[in-house]
Structure 1
C-alpha cells in the first residue's frame, strides 16, 4: 500500500495551473495564448519540461499564425542579431553559428530546436537581451557609466536612463537582496541591472512586432513573474497588447499549487523538485 501511495505522488512529470491555482489542461493555455498577440514564456533555464512545452506552443502558434510568428530570446544578445539572422537565412552551417556566438551551455538541448524550427519555416528570431558586458557595467557602476558610449552602441540597449518602478515586488526583492551583500562584492546596482535587461528585452520585442505579428518570447521566469519586469515595460509603451504569461515553479508535491505561487502568471508549470535538469 505504501508503495502504491508513493507511486501516486510521482505519477506526473508536471502539473499546469491557472493564476488562481486551479488545475488546467494544456489546451487552456494554448487557447488563451493564441487568442492574444504575445506570450512571455518564463522558464527555469535547466528545466526540460518547460523547454518541451515551449516547443509545443511554438508549433501550435505556427499552425495558427504561420510566418506571422516571431520568436524572441533572452538567450541571444543584441550584438548577435546579425549573425543569428544570417544563419536563419542559410548563409553558413550551424558549426559556424556555434563558433561565432556566445551560446548558452544548454543551447543544443533547449534552444537549438526552436532556432532550427524557425530556420525551417523562415521565421524571424529576435535577440532581445542586452550584451552581458553592459549589463555587468550597469550592475557595477550604474547609469552614469553609459554616458561615454557611442550612439550606435546605445541603439543596442534600452536608454540607460529608463524609468524604474521600484515599488514592484520583484525589484523590491532584489533591493532587499542587495542590502545584505558585502560592500566588497560590488553590485550595488543589481536592481538597475535587472531592470535594464527587462527594458531592453521589451524594447526589441516592440521594435520587431507588427500589427499582424504573434510573438513568443522565451525568458527566465523572474523577468516576467507577477506581470512585472518585461511586461511592465511592454504595457507602459503599448497598453493594448494582449499578453499571456507563463511561469515555471518546482515543488515537492505538484498536486496543489503552493500559496506563494498564486498570481505568478496566467499559467504556472509546476514541476517536481526531483526532475532531471538539462545542464
Structure 2
C-alpha cells in the first residue's frame, strides 16, 4: 500500500512539473530567484508561510515542490501545517498517518476541501509516506461562522471542550492592520466588524497551533490563503515577536493583477500565469 501511494505521488509530480518559464518567483527587489534560494533561507528563518490562490494549479505544484525540497534539505525535521484542515480533525489525521484507519475513512471524516484530491492530497500523502508531522491549524469553521453571525463575544459561551480547538480567549485583535481595514472597507458597518473578528479568529488559531507544533531545529511550512499572511499580517501578527523574526512569506498573485508595489507584500512573490 505504501508503495502504491508513493507511486501516485511520483506520477503526479512528473505529470505536473512546475515551470519557471511561465511562472516567476521574485524577491522584494523584483529579482527573479529559484526555489533553492528560499530553501537556503529557511536554514535561518524556519517558519515559512505559503500564501496561495486556492484555485491556481501552478501554485499548488510549487507548494508540493517546496515541501519536497525542504524535506531533501532537512530530512524528517520538516513539519507541514495547513489551513485546509481544522484543529478538531487532528486526531483523524494522526490515525491515518499511523495506519489505524484507511484512506477512505480519513477523507470522509476530515472535512476535505472540494479541490483536495487534485491540489492537497499529493502534499498530505508525501508527508505521510515520509513520516512528517501534519498539523491541522485552522479553527473549526462553525466557530468562525458563529462569530460572523453573532459577534466575537459568542466565543465565551462555548464550553471549555470546544474552546480547546481555538486560540485561548479573549481574542485580542488589532483592527487597524491593513488587511483588516481592507476588509472593513468592503463591508462597512456592523457586518464588517464581525467579519474581521471571524477572520482574526482563524488567523489567531492558526498561529496558536503553529506555535504549539513547531520545535527548534525544525522547518515548518504553513499553507494558507494569501490573505492570511500577506504584508506579514494575519497569522503572523499573532505569533510571538521572536518567532515573527523567523518567518519567510510567499505571496501569490496572477500576472494580470501584478503591480510592482505588490513586491512589498511578502519576502517572495509568486507571479502566476
> Normalization by structure 1: what TM-score?
0.86
1:202-221 paired onto structure 2 within 5 Å: 202-221=207-226
Query: Once structures 1 and 2 are overlaid, which stretch shifts more, 151-160 or 80-89?
Result: 151-160
1:1-279 paired onto structure 2 within 5 Å: 12-179=21-188, 186=191, 188-236=193-241, 238-239=242-243, 241-252=245-256, 258-272=259-273
Two-structure CA RMSD over aligned residues (Å): 1.8
Distance in 2, matches of 1:116 and 1:247, equals 24
Kept in 2, the 8 Å contact 1:88–1:119? The answer is: yes
Kept in 1, the 8 Å contact 2:82–2:136? The answer is: yes
Kept in 2, the 8 Å contact 1:129–1:197? The answer is: yes
Greater C-alpha radius of gyration:
1
Distance apart, 1:155 and its partner CA: 1.2
Distance in 2, matches of 1:29 and 1:233, equals 23
Query: Which residue number in structure 2 is paired with residue 3 of structure 1?
Result: none
3-state DSSP of counterpart to 2:172:
coil
Unaligned 5+ runs, structure 2: 1-19
- Rate the CA distance shift 1:210–1:159 in 2: closer, same or farther, 3 A: same
Distance in 2, matches of 1:168 and 1:86, equals 38
Kept in 2, the 8 Å contact 1:38–1:241? The answer is: no
Distance in 2, matches of 1:175 and 1:187, equals 5
Distance in 2, matches of 1:68 and 1:26, equals 19
Query: How many pairs were matched up?
Result: 254
3-state DSSP of counterpart to 1:45:
coil
Distance apart, 1:48 and its partner CA: 1.2
3-state DSSP of counterpart to 1:179:
coil
Query: Once structures 1 and 2 are overlaid, which stretch shifts more, 238-247 or 161-170?
Result: 238-247
- Rate the CA distance shift 1:13–1:235 in 2: closer, same or farther, 3 A: farther
Kept in 2, the 8 Å contact 1:34–1:61? The answer is: no
Query: Which residue number in structure 1 is paired with residue 7 of structure 2?
Result: none
Kept in 2, the 8 Å contact 1:143–1:160? The answer is: no
Distance apart, 1:66 and its partner CA: 1.6
Query: Once structures 1 and 2 are overlaid, which stretch shifts more, 73-82 or 226-235?
Result: 226-235
Kept in 2, the 8 Å contact 1:73–1:217? The answer is: yes
Unaligned 5+ runs, structure 1: 1-10, 273-279
